[in-house]
Structure formats: structure tokens, C-alpha cells
Amino acid sequence: MLLVVGCATGQVTGASVDAVDIDATVEAEEIISAGKVLYLANCATCHGVNLQGNPDWRSGTDKDGQRLPPPLNGTGHTWHHSREVLHQILKYGLKIYDEKYEGKMIGNENLTDKEIYSILEYIESVWPEELRTNYTKTYK
């Protein structure tokens, strides 16, 4: 996954642009609850209903020999990636950063950029406050 960070520069499209698209009158709370619904429908089977991931994610593999889903709740490494990188991963899957990638994190091209934005808002909303503050300082 460090590879993902390393390759990130220059391949990004603007997740921040999506933020501007969102009707300014829509409360942040609504975005987060919409994100939660989308998360539960599209991500929870692997990453868990509480974003807890698989307990063996650091070293274990699944029956196909692929890596296990990491937690997205702040205890994994989601916060090592910029919003733009996360947006790309969610939309196109990890293959966008590694063409040889054959693992389970495939893309969600059926989701709109706004929907992906709301999922990321939801994920960040469960992180501890300190982590969120640092993340905002680093990436926003």
C-alpha cells in the first residue's frame, strides 16, 4: 500500500471539485448519512458494517490467496492517502495504481463522484477527532 502513496502524484482527478458540485444547502449530516447507506450497500460485506475490516488484514490472506480488507475506521492506513487518491481507489479500484493488481479492491464505476464523496465523508466522520484534524491539515 505504500506503493499507492508513492505513485499517487500526478494521477489524480479532483475529488475537491465534486465537493463544489454538492448543493451548498445540503447539510454535512445528510451527506454523511447518504454515505453510510452507500457504504453499507457497497463496502460493508468486505470492510465490515463498522468499518472494522478483517482482524487479520495485516498479514492474512483469503482463500484465494488475496489480501484481506483493512479497517477504514482510522486504525488502518486510509488516512495515509489524500482524498484524491481515495477517490480514485473507490472509483476505479487499486488497479489504477498497480496494473498487475489482482486483489479484491475493485472499482465502483457505477457510483457517481458525489456518491463517492459522500462515502469518504462518512468514513472520515468515524475517525477520532485528532486524526481528522491532522488529516485536514495535511490534505485539505
Binding site for ligand HEC (CB under 6 A): 1, 42-43, 45-47, 67-70, 72, 76-78, 81, 86, 89-90, 94, 103-105, 108, 119
Between residues 24 and 85, which has the closer beta carbon with respect to ligand HEC?
85
* Amino acid at residue number 72: L
Between residues 32 and 72, which has the closer beta carbon with respect to ligand HEC?
72
Q: Which residue is nearest to ligand HEC (CB)?
A: 43
Q: In the bound complex, what is the minimum distance in angstroms from residue 138's beta carbon to ligand HEC?
A: 14
Long-range contacts of 36-42 (CB under 8 A, 24+ apart): 36/122, 38/111, 38/115, 38/118, 38/119, 38/122, 39/119, 39/122, 39/123, 42/108, 42/111, 42/119
Between residues 28 and 58, which has the closer beta carbon with respect to ligand HEC?
58
> What's the CA gap between 124 and 72, in Å, rounded?
9
> What's the CA gap between 77 and 75, in Å, rounded?
7
Between residues 105 and 131, which has the closer beta carbon with respect to ligand HEC?
105
Q: In the bound complex, what is the minimum distance in angstroms from residue 12's beta carbon to ligand HEC?
A: 14
Q: In the bound complex, what is the minimum distance in angstroms from residue 25's beta carbon to ligand HEC?
A: 26
**Cα 132 from chain centre:** 14
